[in-house]
């Protein structure tokens, strides 16, 4: 392939899970702009349909990643209907910000069911399709919280660290079949889910200052890193996490020494 076509997704079938809003919405549109045939999957059916309506040739369907049978059925249906499934991108996650000593069993189960079990369901279902066709690329969203934490983020951080190991295991098992598996590690991104933080000026600014770029990311800024991983530009990249965090995990100092 020529260097000019490295990021071209023409002829590829891409399932974007969580594509009804936020980062997933931006990625669905971005993948279509690179030529992919996009299927928008989301637990919120009207949201998925609204995004698909903005993308020529796109389809939409409802999907709850906690339901393994539903995930298998959805990805199998795409592969049968489109002839193949080249790309699966999984963005959904939830967070309950609660100190460890106050975390309830129900809250623990709810976060793990979406973030970890849901991601496993997607990896397993996509892996079954892609290993059979002997090609494909899977990207699952992790977070900077896989590496660094703050009070109240215990279970969320645990699941995001688990996703990194899940991706590595998937890459090791699926690699011989020509299937690549990677993760994206965003920092703080402006989405509907982070709106309550943005509404608190001090909290918003504290997160902005933690990035070396001194600002939050826009959802659209997750498109490039994600599409890189699913494109031929990353044909030898698998089993890794790409941090798109504005340098959050690169800099650990909060004090600038004199003379700097």
The residues carrying an active-site annotation are 156
Taking residue 156's Cβ as centre, other Cβ atoms within 10 Å add up to 22
pLDDT of residue 131: 98
> pTM of the entire structure?
0.94
Q: What is the pLDDT along the chain (260 residues), one digit of tens a residue?
A: 445 688 999 999 999 999 999 999 999 999 999 999 999 999 999 999 999 999 999 999 999 999 999 999 999 999 999 999 999 999 999 999 999 999 999 999 999 999 999 999 999 999 999 999 999 999 999 999 999 999 999 999 999 999 999 999 999 999 999 999 999 999 999 987 788 888 899 999 999 999 999 999 999 999 999 999 999 999 999 999 999 999 999 987 665 656 65
How far apart are alpha carbons 6 and 188 in whole angstroms?
28
C-alpha distances in angstroms, 249 versus 185, 187, 245, 260?
A: 10, 9, 7, 20
Contacts of residue 76, defined as CB under 8 A and 6 or more positions apart, other chains included, come to 125, 129
pLDDT of residue 1: 47
Q: Output the six-digit token pair for 209.
A: 């200052």
pLDDT of residue 2: 47
Q: Output the six-digit token pair for 97.
A: 């910000």
Fold of 8-189+217-244: Rossmann fold (3.40.50)
pLDDT of residue 257: 59
pLDDT of residue 98: 94
16 membership: H or E segment, kind and range = strand 13-17
How far apart are alpha carbons 82 and 84 in whole angstroms?
6
How far apart are alpha carbons 114 and 95 in whole angstroms?
10
Residue from 186, 109, 180 nearest 142 by CA: 186
Q: Where are the alpha helices (DSSP H) in the chain?
A: 22-33, 45-53, 68-82, 105-112, 119-133, 154-174, 195-198, 201-210, 223-230
């Amino acid at each position: 392939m020529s260097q000019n076509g490295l990021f071209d997704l023409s002829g590829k079938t891409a399932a974007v899970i969580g594509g009804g809003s936020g980062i997933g919405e931006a990625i669905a549109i971005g993948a279509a702009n690179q030529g992919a045939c996009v299927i928008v999957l989301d637990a919120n059916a009207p949201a998925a349909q609204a995004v698909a309506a903005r993308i020529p040739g796109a389809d939409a369907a409802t999907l709850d990643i906690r339901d393994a049978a539903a995930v298998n059925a959805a990805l199998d249906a795409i592969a049968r209907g489109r002839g193949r499934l080249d790309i699966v991108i999984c963005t959904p996650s939830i967070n309950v910000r609660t100190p460890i000593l106050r975390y309830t069993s129900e809250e623990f189960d709810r976060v793990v069911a979406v973030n970890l079990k849901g991601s496993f369901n997607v990896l397993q279902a996509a892996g079954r399709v892609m290993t059979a066709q002997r090609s494909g690329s899977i990207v699952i969203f992790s977070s900077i919280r896989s590496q660094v934490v703050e009070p109240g983020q215990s279970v969320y951080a645990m699941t995001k660290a688990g996703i990194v190991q899940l991706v590595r295991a998937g890459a090791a098992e699926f690699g011989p079949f020509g299937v690549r598996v990677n993760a994206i590690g965003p920092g703080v991104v402006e989405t509907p889910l982070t709106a309550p933080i943005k509404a608190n000026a001090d909290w918003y600014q504290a997160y902005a200052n933690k990035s070396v770029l001194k600002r939050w990311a826009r959802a659209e800024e997750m498109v490039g890193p994600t599409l890189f991983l699913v494109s031929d530009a990353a044909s030898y990249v698998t089993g890794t996490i790409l941090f798109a965090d504005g340098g959050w995990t690169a800099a650990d100092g909060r004090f600038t020494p004199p003379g700097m």
